[in-house]
Structure 1
Amino acid sequence: MGISAGLPLAALTCAVLGTLGAGALLRAARPPVRSANRLVAAGLGANVWGLAGSAFLLTIDHEPPTVGRLAPFAVGQVLGTVLLLVGLLRLPGAADAPGAMLRQVLDGALVAAATLHITWTLFVEPALVRHTHHSAPSLTDGRTYVLGIPLLVSLTAAGIAGVTAGRARPPRAVRALAAGAVGVTVLAGLCLLVALRYGGGAVVAGLCWGYLLSVALTVLAVRRAGQPAPPALDLPGSGAVMALVPVAAAIVAALIRMAIYGSTDNVSILIAATVGSLITARQMLANSAARRYANRLAEREAFFKDMAFTDPLTGLANRRQLLRVLEEQAVGGPPCVLMAIDLDGFKNVNDMRGHDVGDAVLVEVGRRLRANLRPGDLAARLGGDEFAVLMWGGPDEAHRVAERLLTVLGGPYDMEGSAVFLSASIGLAANATAHDVPSLLHNADLSLRFAKQRGKSRVERYDAAYDQWMRRRTTVEQELRGAIEREELSLVYQPVIALPEGRPVGVEALVRWHHPKLGQVSPVEFIPIAEESGLVTRIDKWVLHQACHQLSRWIAEGHDPWISVNISIRELHLPEYVEHVVEVLRAHRVPPERLILEVTEHAVALDLDEVVDRLAELRAVGVRIALDDFGAGYSSLGQLRRLPVDVLKIDKILVVEPASAPTRKAAPLVGVVVGLGHQLGLEVIAEGVADPAQQEIVSAAGCRLVQGELYGRAMPSEHVEALLAAPRAVPAPRPAQDVGQVDSGREMRQS
């Protein structure tokens, strides 16, 4: 074979441009593709400079190609192919995990071995037999190694590149292009090596230029593919079919060989053994990867299961886990009790100390619950400061445990060097009281609600009467929403009498509700419901309008009483309330001094500063203020000095003589309060006077204004008119039966 004059130019051009391309890869290399680009650049350099070395040896003495002259290119081809292949596998999205890389190498080698088996069995071995009468190349011929080793390496690399292209992750087209470019470069180099040995000069020169194009394609493709790829799940069985198709074709080729020649040769047997070994290794790797994958799945399943059924803050079970256990074991199962637990006053901790301290308190609550429950009992956090405990056993045992938990949860919580104090309320419901999970939860929540309503920091067991109470309460609340529109509300009035004349000087307006189905609903029942539901504001406005309307009629008729109206603490928190009162007085032409607004001692104690400001604004427009229920348990002299009030109403509890008292103990208490009120310049009204003995007590104490059943219970307006029209003191008529007999001084305090 003669050496073409264009070979040196083509080889030199390949070397120069290949070096420039490798340099471009190195300059563009940035993490995480730097190592991959360096390997590809080194592989290209080994290939092109190996070609340049062989071309130089072939042109200096114009001798035909020999093993020695082809050796530089063969070595460069083998080394460059290995470097190109490793660089390809290091690209992002090609083979991220070591296991995936090893699988692709085995699958690529399997594809190459199967392809070689097909080629050898059907084409190469028959051609050797026809031309040399030998079925295998000579192992002593150097050309066998110069061409055979690059052939095996190149075919393997091409197979791996093909598998990589088929399994590339998004962007799939870019990474498949890079793998394909590497495969084309490897095969082009192999073809060029074969052409140098057996081809003509023009063929060699042409292949040099084609080889240059494949090198340029590799540079461009690898640069485009060198972008970070999103992570992907490494599945052990992915892409296995791609490797098995050539194996199946190799089996078909072997069968064809056996059918034609009736036997096979040693090389085919060796290749087939290699294919079998690769399949065995691939299967072992797949089994190992499958086990690891199954273990990871089990770990992740356990992790997500723990997340799904565990409260992340306290480590207790969450609502989902509690419901699951209740469904599976509690309903219809062995005796157990569900405890609903709520922390009293926890909102104040969050508001005053911050949510970090609040979270720390919740964590400590969880720890205390775990430490004080038996093995098998389940503690859960339902959300916020709500907890639950599912305890196996009877109600009596659960009640004892709940009492112990009250003590444990009521202990101080040491947070950042200072103590936080809380209490807990607990409701109990046995599974025997419910037929399903929702009803069991309902019963426990209802018991908890009663525990809170009855003073908090206590344990309440579920009682079927609670459901009746709840249904009644729900009905009352629903019907109360339309009571004003249906004109079911009315006002009654309890007179305030001046002593010793017995003359009525004022009245207290009290709301009554008569429902067509529920009958006469007590204020003690519906006023607290109105407070909780927010309806009390509407009712208070209606009462104020009706009371002022009635007072204006009495004034027009020539009477001169004043009227007092109970107001809710909600009203005093409304900035526009004073303006509303002024508008009502103006609309009904009522002098402001004829209106007394009563606030309970308990209500003003909750937010004294804002209440003081609002009461001062009311007094500034002429309205008088009365402090109701004084002495009912919240009395404070300092508070009384701060409050802008005009009237002090002594609570019934100070007036009524205890039945077991051996001496008259009420008299000195009334005297103290009356004297205090007079010293402060206040009018004093004694409430709840029910008999002459009590009248004697308050009269002796110097109290000239009284109110109570002795002078008349709450009555309709026409009875009040009769009292006002009487020329002297007369016994007040008893009201009609449907008016109701309720202690007027306690109606608003019940809310």
Structure 2
Amino acid sequence: MHSPSGVELAGLASLMVAVPAVALLGNSGRRHTGAARNAHLLLAAGGATATAAALAGLISALFLAHDPMPHHRQTLGQAVAVAMAIGTFMLLVGTLMLPGAAESRRAALRHLLDGLILAAAMWFVGWILVTEPTRLLRGLTPMGCGSLLLGAGVAAVAIGLTAVLAMHAHRPRNVTVRVAAGVSLVAVTATALPAGICQGSPVLVCLGAALLPVGLFVVARAVESADRPVTVSGDIIQRNTGYAFVPMAAMVIAGTYHLLAGGEFGGFGFIGASVEGFALVGRQYLALGDVKSYTLQLRQREAHFRELAHTDPLTGLANRRGLVRALREPAVRHRPRTLVGLDLDGFKNVNDMRGHDVGDAVLAEVGERLRANLREGDVAARLGGDEFAVLMWATPEEAMTAGKRLLAVLCEPYETEDGSVFLSASVGVAGSPAPGDTGELMRDADLALRYAKQRGKNRVERYQKHYDELLRRHSVLENELRHAIERRQLRLVFQPVVALPSVRPVGAEALLRWHHPDLGAVRPDEFIPVAEESGLIGMLGSWVLDQACAQLARWLATGHDVWVSVNLSPKELHAADYAGQVAAVLEKYGVPPQRLVLEVTEHAVATDMDELIRRLVELRSTGVRIALDDFGAGYSSLGQLRNLPVDILKIDHALVAEPESRTGTAAPLVDVVVRLGHRLGLEVLAEGIGTSAQREIVEEAGCRLGQGSLFGWGVPAEHLEAQLRTVRTPGSRPAPQPRNRPAAAPSAPARSQIVMLGPGMRQVRAVLPTDPAFSGDQDVRSVDAPREMGQS
């Protein structure tokens, strides 16, 4: 053994520096988990293998420095080259395993083949440059040895892989590219160090020994941030593949030059061209597999999204589009199609009172119940909101039976986290008039459903042809009603209200009439619901209030002691600042507020009682009086009158028309209502009086005001004014301001009685006090009538 030179010692010292770099890689691997941990440990193992091979090779080379046998150095160089190539290959695999280098093993294989394509091209072009006749290095061209060729091949692969990762790694790419660049330096070391040993060149040995720790430190510093999040930047199929043509072009140009210069292709050139060809074929095979895989995924996703487009996400049923698709399918021979439309009654209250989460849970449960009651081939769909439909292969008669079964199922309680929810449903059934006529079928089912709701809900209705006429009539009325005011087709008539028993007119109820030039006289019970559904009721109500107050102002100006009542829709009552609108109209015409009576139907009591009371209190604060219309035909009880801020109680005509129990005796319910109304400080008005017998009944009950056909129908204002002039006397006194409601008498023991209001009417609970002041012998008519009602 000879004394080592300074160059050899410097190389040995440089290799010793690589040991801390390997330790850093190992420590980094221990700090990570999962795939990153495996990648870092493989990088550490590859660095350790390359470092150990380099140290062993350099120390062995010191012993063979003066060995006269060249083949000993070649054998040592080849052994070091193989060992360092193994370490470099482990580094390359660890690089491909880093997070962000490739999204899958298949992608990593693609990157490796792409790097091999570049490597084969570099190998081929390099072989052309260093062999005859080119000999680019001239006298510095190294002699051929296995260690040089193997190292050069590994270095080419590492450089090619670095270029591929720089183009295709996920963002951020700097970590992956830095690791690949460090591995490339190690690969250059795997070329220079064995070649130096084989060639006997201390400079190459020292260069390799210096580059090895540099490359390992680059890798170690880069992997410290290799666990940072990365983002996928597109699909591999969409990436640029121009790099595959550049190497081929370089090989073709280099090979052509080599042949034109008189060179020949040997084994090394054939190896380079063969590797390039096989790499390209393998890469193409993977690309075709990727195309097939992505095509299959695309079809699956397309089918999935197509199904989503036809499916309701909440219930899992078909949506409207899915139902239309089912309707367009060819009909089964001899099996007619029938569509059953379903709508939940009062579902909006569930969302408002319980919240949308509970509402969604109810809708999901509806979907489950429909799905559980489907027959084979039936299609259930949620059309939107709380509206559902079921397409059945059945006759309309069979569908009616199924609709009744579904109605019973949907009316069962819905159990939620906030308690039970009780709902009813409306069902409409329609048969298909013609195959494929989807629009007609859905429209017919919707019409039947609307008719079921109009007839009281919680029922099943089958489509009938005259529903089309009703729909067209509804549409025409809505369109024409929008222009009825500006075309002067509306007018007011006034039905007199008389004092009993004198039959003196003391007031009038303003009634709206519509006469269309083509449609003729349209009944209020036909166009008022249309106005409420279309949102025109506010416009009509404002016009009626303005016209009634204008006429009342004219009557008062001419000395007539009367008041006028105007019917108020529940939608108007709940409009924003309606009380302010009423006050503005009264101020506009200078009408005393107590001369205006606003009539609220008893059906409004079925709504939120607290909200109703608040709205009525706002109206009474303007000075107007409130009348509860149609009492006895709706939902309220006599006990609720204590809380309602009303001034007048209008007895429904159904109570007035009730057959008297015996001749000359007031009907029991009229008597009860009048007595308790007076007890609560309310004026009572009996409407619908059409016969003298009915008049006697209400008079005997003590009712002081009456209205009905017996006293006159609704007439134009000038006709009623003529009637007022005929009964006006010079001694008539103007009505004083309304007095306060008398305090309720001390409560007395009471007995409750449930009475029926007649055929088709609801029950009313009457509280019958046993106070002697309310005995049947008392003459209630002797009580003074309030002056604000217009009596003299």
For normalisation by structure 2, the TM-score amounts to 0.77
2:714 is the alignment partner of 1:714? yes
Of 57, 65, 85, 1:54 maps to 57
2:191 is the alignment partner of 1:198? no
Deviation at 1:230, TM superposition (A): 1.7
Q: Which residue of 1 aligns with 2:723?
A: 723
- Cα separation, 2, equivalents of 1:37 and 1:610: 71
SS of residue paired to 2:508: strand
Q: Which residue of 2 aligns with 1:490?
A: 491
SS of residue paired to 1:599: strand
1:50-97 deviation line (CA, Å, top 9, x unaligned): 434433443467425725654674355223212221122122332231
Query: CA contact under 8 A between 1:332 and 1:431: conserved in structure 2?
Result: no
254-263 or 180-189, which moves further after superposition?
Answer: 254-263
- Cα separation, 2, equivalents of 1:514 and 1:9: 118
- Cα separation, 1, equivalents of 2:78 and 2:204: 20
2:86 is the alignment partner of 1:79? yes
Q: How many residues align?
A: 714
2:104 is the alignment partner of 1:97? yes
- Cα separation, 2, equivalents of 1:390 and 1:123: 81
Query: CA contact under 8 A between 1:512 and 1:521: conserved in structure 2?
Result: yes
Query: CA contact under 8 A between 2:11 and 2:209: conserved in structure 1?
Result: yes
Equivalence map 1:590-739=2 (5 Å): 590-619=591-620, 622-656=623-657, 667-727=667-727
Q: Which residue of 2 aligns with 1:739?
A: none
Query: CA contact under 8 A between 2:15 and 2:212: conserved in structure 1?
Result: no
Q: Which amino acid aligns with 2:588?
A: A
Equivalence map 1:411-422=2 (5 Å): 411-416=412-417, 418-422=419-423
SS of residue paired to 1:315: coil
Q: Which residue of 1 aligns with 2:502?
A: 501
Q: Which residue of 2 aligns with 1:732?
A: none
Deviation at 1:581, TM superposition (A): 3.2
Query: CA contact under 8 A between 1:338 and 1:429: conserved in structure 2?
Result: yes
Q: Which amino acid aligns with 1:552?
A: A
2:231 is the alignment partner of 1:230? yes
Equivalence map 1:161-310=2 (5 Å): 161=162, 163-165=164-166, 167-171=168-172, 175=176, 178-179=179-180, 182-183=183-184, 185-198=186-199, 200-202=201-203, 204-205=205-206, 227-231=228-232, 296-297=297-298, 299-310=300-311
- Cα separation, 2, equivalents of 1:424 and 1:462: 17
SS of residue paired to 2:58: helix
Query: CA contact under 8 A between 1:337 and 1:393: conserved in structure 2?
Result: yes
Q: 1:575 to 1:378 in 2, by over 3 A?
A: closer
468-477 or 602-611, which moves further after superposition?
Answer: 468-477
Q: 1:579 to 1:502 in 2, by over 3 A?
A: same
SS of residue paired to 2:552: helix
Query: CA contact under 8 A between 2:133 and 2:262: conserved in structure 1?
Result: no
Deviation at 1:497, TM superposition (A): 1.8
- Cα separation, 2, equivalents of 1:465 and 1:329: 29
Q: Which residue of 2 aligns with 1:348?
A: 349
Q: 1:518 to 1:18 in 2, by over 3 A?
A: farther
Q: Which residue of 1 aligns with 2:515?
A: 514
Query: CA contact under 8 A between 2:185 and 2:214: conserved in structure 1?
Result: no
1:585-609 deviation line (CA, Å, top 9, x unaligned): 3433333332222111111331222
Q: Which residue of 1 aligns with 2:549?
A: 548
Query: CA contact under 8 A between 1:428 and 1:447: conserved in structure 2?
Result: yes
2:558 is the alignment partner of 1:557? yes
Q: Which amino acid aligns with 2:341?
A: A
Q: Which amino acid aligns with 2:346?
A: G
Q: Which residue of 2 aligns with 1:370?
A: 371
SS of residue paired to 1:358: helix
Q: Which amino acid aligns with 1:189?
A: A
1:233-276 deviation line (CA, Å, top 9, x unaligned): 77589888867987899899999999999999888888888888
Query: CA contact under 8 A between 2:627 and 2:649: conserved in structure 1?
Result: yes
1:449-487 deviation line (CA, Å, top 9, x unaligned): 222112111223333433333333233333333444444
Query: CA contact under 8 A between 1:336 and 1:393: conserved in structure 2?
Result: yes
Percent identity of paired positions between Structure 1 and Structure 2: 49
Q: 1:96 to 1:572 in 2, by over 3 A?
A: closer
- Cα separation, 1, equivalents of 2:399 and 2:517: 44
Deviation at 1:513, TM superposition (A): 2.7
- Cα separation, 1, equivalents of 2:334 and 2:695: 64
2:541 is the alignment partner of 1:534? no
SS of residue paired to 1:654: helix
- Cα separation, 2, equivalents of 1:204 and 1:34: 33
Query: CA contact under 8 A between 2:151 and 2:187: conserved in structure 1?
Result: no
Q: Which residue of 1 aligns with 2:321?
A: 320
Q: Which amino acid aligns with 2:709?
A: E
Q: Which residue of 1 aligns with 2:7?
A: 7
Deviation at 1:506, TM superposition (A): 1.2
- Cα separation, 1, equivalents of 2:664 and 2:237: 95
- Cα separation, 1, equivalents of 2:652 and 2:154: 105
Query: CA contact under 8 A between 2:15 and 2:210: conserved in structure 1?
Result: no
Q: Which amino acid aligns with 1:86?
A: V
- Cα separation, 2, equivalents of 1:685 and 1:363: 50
- Cα separation, 1, equivalents of 2:239 and 2:538: 69
Q: Which amino acid aligns with 2:93?
A: V
SS of residue paired to 2:667: helix
519-528 or 41-50, which moves further after superposition?
Answer: 41-50
Q: Which amino acid aligns with 1:63?
A: H
Q: 1:228 to 1:579 in 2, by over 3 A?
A: closer
Query: CA contact under 8 A between 1:18 and 1:215: conserved in structure 2?
Result: yes
614-623 or 344-353, which moves further after superposition?
Answer: 614-623
Greater share of helix: 1
- Cα separation, 1, equivalents of 2:360 and 2:383: 14
Query: CA contact under 8 A between 1:15 and 1:45: conserved in structure 2?
Result: no
Deviation at 1:405, TM superposition (A): 1.3
Q: Which residue of 1 aligns with 2:385?
A: 384
255-264 or 580-589, which moves further after superposition?
Answer: 255-264
2:526 is the alignment partner of 1:525? yes
1:281-307 deviation line (CA, Å, top 9, x unaligned): 777766766666565555544543443
Equivalence map 1:557-576=2 (5 Å): 557-574=558-575, 576=577
What is the root-mean-square deviation of aligned Cα atoms in Å? 4.5
1:539-587 deviation line (CA, Å, top 9, x unaligned): 3333223222222222221221122121222343356333443443343
- Cα separation, 1, equivalents of 2:292 and 2:616: 77
For normalisation by structure 1, the TM-score amounts to 0.80
SS of residue paired to 1:726: helix
Q: 1:665 to 1:165 in 2, by over 3 A?
A: farther
Q: Which amino acid aligns with 1:90?
A: M
SS of residue paired to 1:508: strand
SS of residue paired to 1:343: strand
Q: 1:434 to 1:571 in 2, by over 3 A?
A: farther
Query: CA contact under 8 A between 2:185 and 2:211: conserved in structure 1?
Result: no
Equivalence map 1:462-481=2 (5 Å): 462-481=463-482
2:95 is the alignment partner of 1:88? yes
- Cα separation, 1, equivalents of 2:5 and 2:171: 46
Equivalence map 1:87-166=2 (5 Å): 87-105=94-112, 108=115, 144=146, 150=151, 153-154=154-155, 157=158, 160-161=161-162, 163-165=164-166
Could you tell me which runs of 5 or more consecutive residues in structure 2 were left unpaired when the two chains were aligned.
Answer: 135-142, 730-792
Q: 1:100 to 1:718 in 2, by over 3 A?
A: same
Deviation at 1:633, TM superposition (A): 3.3
558-567 or 291-300, which moves further after superposition?
Answer: 291-300
Deviation at 1:379, TM superposition (A): 0.4
Q: Which amino acid aligns with 1:98?
A: R
